[in-house]
Chains A and B, each alone.
Chain A
Amino acid sequence: MRITILPTRKQVEIVGRRRAADVLRELGFLPGTAMVIRGDVLVPENSMLEADDDIEVRSVISGGAPQREAAR
């Protein structure tokens, strides 16, 4: 499957079908820190991704606020 990782825009290929959670783990994401997107729908972490899927893995983590008060 072809995977685009955001925000880095890195492209990755993984051979064979996998559970979404396993793909996230292989890419170094902790559970709940990235969305797995196929087309215009989200893929739950325990669902399967097929070998010929085009997938977007989008990180959801943002930050950088000063310690005194996180101001976003």
Chain B
Amino acid sequence: MKCTRCKAPAEVQLRQHNSNFCRACFLFFFQRQVERAIEKERMIAPGEAVLVAVSGGKDSLALWDVLVGLGYTTTGLHLSLGIGEYSDASTEKTVAFAAARNLPLITVPLAEQGLAVNDVAQLTRRPACSACGTMKRHYFDQLAVDRGFPVVATGHNLDDEAARLLGNVLHWQMPHLARQRPVLQPTHERFVRKVKPLFRITEYEAAVYAFMRGIDYVVDECPNAVGATQLVYKDMLNRLEAASPGSKLTFVQDFLARAQPALASAPESPPNTCTGCGMPAFGELCGFCRLVRETETKRERRAAGGR
């Protein structure tokens, strides 16, 4: 099998693009895909410093690597989530990635603030992924605003976006569909722009990029993800993709081109300001402050001998 671009022996086959690539041409293709997404969606303005949310997984480290390769000024933001050995390994890989490339990295150890994801989930009896997401969104915005970053880039890929779209459509989550975009503009002075430069890149392509670039990422899956609904949706979409290559890309691209603009035109009510932390909130307190207060209350009750 030969590379579609240069006719050298191919190392990877991308059925959704009807293409095969050697290593050099795949890396070129990947970088161009990300570059085009950033330009077309106006994700990052020239000269803007980008805060890159990095977990230690393939997607976020591949994103950080490609943004650096494209010449962007980047700083990594890593939340050490407190999910046992998985988090320890994730932090270790992220720190090593940044150190090897001399890139600035901000690390936030949640356990030191009494907010280890597993403890919070256990105390509040919320799903771990829900607690984790609430904390991530809070810290991404808060640290970006406090440190003067106008934009946060996350490693969400095409598979993530297609699975999320399927979930939102299955439940007709209209407000969520209205906000499912590769670029989210801030609606409050303490929100920043959120961008997803990998939204047209499959998980497979991100993993191949990380492998070819020699990125040492966490291969293990988050233990809290076992049985997650998102994985069921991804499996369904991958079955569809196997029968009809390109389905995932078409699903997401056509949603963004045809349906999303109509949904997004409905007026959004702007958020209030949280009385606890000053960040955006859709009630008196933001989701993060409610979670922290609930955790503290349950922790105090438990310490006092209650449940």
Instruction: Tell whether A pairs with B.
Output: yes
A30: interface (CB < 8 Å): yes
Q: Which residues of B contact A63 (CB under 8 A)?
A: 160, 163, 225, 228, 230-231, 234
Q: Determine the residue in chain B with the shortest Cβ distance to A30.
A: B238
Q: Which residues of B contact A35 (CB under 8 A)?
A: 204, 207-208, 211
Most buried by B among A33, A58, A59: A33
B13: interface (CB < 8 Å): yes
A16: interface (CB < 8 Å): no
CA distance A68 to B173 in the complex (A): 9
Q: Is the CB of B130 within 8 A of A32?
A: no
Q: Is the CB of A46 within 8 A of B13?
A: yes
B297: interface (CB < 8 Å): no
> Which secondary structure dominates where chain B touches chain A?
helix
Q: Give the size category of B's interface with A.
A: 35 or more
Shortest beta-carbon distance from A25 to chain B in Å: 10
CA distance A6 to B219 in the complex (A): 7
Contact with A along B136-161 (1 / 0, CB 8 A): 11001000000000000011100111
B224: interface (CB < 8 Å): yes
A26: interface (CB < 8 Å): no
CA distance A47 to B16 in the complex (A): 18
Q: Is the CB of A69 within 8 A of B203?
A: no
Q: Is the CB of B129 within 8 A of A64?
A: yes
B295: interface (CB < 8 Å): no
Q: Which residues of A contact B239 (CB under 8 A)?
A: 30
Contact with B along A49-72 (1 / 0, CB 8 A): 000000000111111111111111
Q: Is the CB of A32 within 8 A of B211?
A: no
B12: interface (CB < 8 Å): yes
B229: interface (CB < 8 Å): yes
Q: Is the CB of A71 within 8 A of B1?
A: no
Q: Is the CB of B220 within 8 A of A60?
A: no
Which residues does A use to contact B, with CB under 8 Å?
Answer: 6-7, 30-33, 35, 37, 41-47, 58-72
For the complex of A and B, 7 pairs with smallest distance between CB atoms: A64-B225, A60-B207, A64-B228, A63-B230, A66-B133, A71-B133, A71-B136
What are 22 A-B contacts defined by CB distance under 8 Å? A7-B219, A30-B242, A32-B238, A33-B238, A37-B211, A41-B23, A42-B212, A59-B219, A61-B234, A62-B57, A63-B225, A63-B231, A63-B234, A64-B224, A67-B168, A69-B137, A69-B164, A71-B136, A72-B60, A72-B136, A72-B154, A72-B160
